[in-house]
Structure 1
Amino acid sequence: MKKVYAWLGAAMLCAVAGSAHAERFDLSIGDDSYRIALNGPLSRVFSQTTGQYDIGAVVRPERDDDLLVAHVGALVTGDAGARSFDSAAGLGLRAVYIGRDDNPGGSIAPGGQFEARFPGYERIGFSVYGYYGPEVLTFGDFEEYYEVGTGVDYQVLRDASLYVGYRNINVKVEDGPRITADNGLHVGMRLSF
């Protein structure tokens, strides 16, 4: 499993080094887990494309099976149409790798997100997202995957935010129980470069 962590870290560093502008780096920490993510304009990867790419991983190092949930995704994004809010929404797909010591697997999970900034208080934002991979789109030793989350952030600087959020990542093992990869509150920061 440590090799997987090393490869994931190397891939994220290459993504950062490969772009002239590193986009947005996100780090959040919960009671039993942490999440590292990088996202930015999809046009950095595919020219002439609107949207957003997202690379990240949630790690629970204290679990007996060293559970790792890593993803790569793309969303088509745009104005959500709320007149008085600065808001954006996105719909897309996420390819998810679910790593356990003996039985890794994964999922292709459709989903979306919504973000808004409050009028007159633009430094305060709200976000919600969700992804779901049913059995037909899940492989390996898993039958289902879902991830939902929400958060409230405050822009300390225009390029640096602190936030509090909640996320639930859950997978169903084939002929077995559900495994909660993450469930609870976390605090985090986002840095734009």
Structure 2
Amino acid sequence: MRLRIFLAAVAAGFSVPVLADSIDINLNNDSVQATYATAWRQAEFNAGFLSNTDQNDWVASMGLLASGEKQTGDMRVEAGLGGKVYYANVSNDDVLALGLGGQFSVHPNNFPVGFGGYLYYAPDVITFMDGKKFWEWGVRAEFEVVKKTANIYVGYRKVRADLDNNSDVTVDSGAHVGVKISF
């Protein structure tokens, strides 16, 4: 079931005109996350899947961001604002949420070392099914092996759902390592 949802999300990403694509895969001892993103003009469409095998929880997401880049002699900044639709199965409960937020990355002095983060939050009014709230946030430090093409990184993320039965479930929390390849 998880594989079918992930493949459907990735296939949906191929349905828009493509200018730039990327695949981002990260993992730790208990979880793996894969995200496909495609950029078209000043927008990014992404589809991802996070699976925590320790808890048998999973989250599928699709997002749309208005994105941009500013580069000066001193620094390169990439940022995006938008939203993600999440469908999650946590503690045998289903959650559907529209998370609003954004992401950024900064490369000081145009060095290959950069820092980034993201935050998406869905309050009660836009969280449905068995959920009350949903959020995902993370930070990372990355190294560009090939400028704007291949990055390796270490990061920390937390994905959490508040359920209607007044329980709070952390889908994933902790450090991870990853690779992002743009083509």
Pairwise same-fold verdict (TM > 0.5): yes
CA displacement, residues 154-186 of structure 1 (integer Å, 9 cap, x when unaligned): 111232111000000010111231100110100
Q: Relative to 1, partners in 2 of residues 1:27 and 1:139: Cα closer, same or farther, differing over 3 Å? A: same
Q: Which runs of 5+ in 1 are unaligned?
A: 44-48
Deviation at 1:124, TM superposition (A): 1.1
Match of 1:129 among 99, 118, 124: 118
2:34 corresponds to: 36
Secondary structure of the corresponding residue to residue 13 of structure 2: helix
Calculate percent identity across the aligned residue pairs: 26
Question: Aligned pair 1:62/2:84, yes or no?
Answer: no
- Aligned partners of 2:123, 2:109: CA distance in 1, in Å? 37
Structure 1 80/173 Cα, relative in aligned 2: closer, same or farther at 3 Å?
Answer: farther
Number of paired residues?
182
Q: Hey, what does 2:140 align to over in structure 1?
A: 151
Distance, in Å, in 2 between the alignment partners of 1:71 and 1:22 is: 20
Find the aligned partners of 2:138 and 2:177 in 1 and give their Cα distance: 13
> Aligned runs of 1:164-183 on 2, under 5 Å?
164-183=154-173
Q: Larger % of strand: which?
A: 2
What residue identity is the alignment partner of 1:39?
A
Corresponding residue for 2:45?
53
What runs of 5+ residues in structure 2 fail to find an aligned partner? none
Deviations 1:49-102 (A, max 9, x none): 522111101101232xx2111110111122468883210221111101012474
Greater mean alpha carbon deviation, residues 106-115 or residues 16-25? 16-25
The equivalent of 2:7 in structure 1 is 9
> 2: CA distance between counterparts of 1:6 and 1:181?
20
User: Normalising by structure 1, what TM-score?
Assistant: 0.84
Opposite residue 47 of structure 2, the aligned amino acid is I
2:103 and 2:120 map into 1 onto residues whose CA distance is: 9
Question: Under a length normalisation based on structure 2, what TM-score does the superposition of the two structures give?
Answer: 0.89
1:15 positional shift: 3.3
Tell me, yes or no, if the aligned pair for 1:16 and 1:22 is still in contact at 8 Å. Answer: no
Letter in 2 for 1:61: T
Paired residues of 1:24 and 1:190 also in contact (CA < 8 A): yes
Q: Aligned to 1:104, what secondary structure does the other structure show?
A: strand
Equivalent residues of 1:67, 1:98 under 8 A apart: yes
For 2:23, give the aligned amino acid.
Answer: F
Contact 1:117 1:124 in 2 (8 A): yes
Is the deviation greater in 180-189 or in 104-113? 104-113
Find the aligned partners of 1:21 and 1:99 in 2 and give their Cα distance.
33
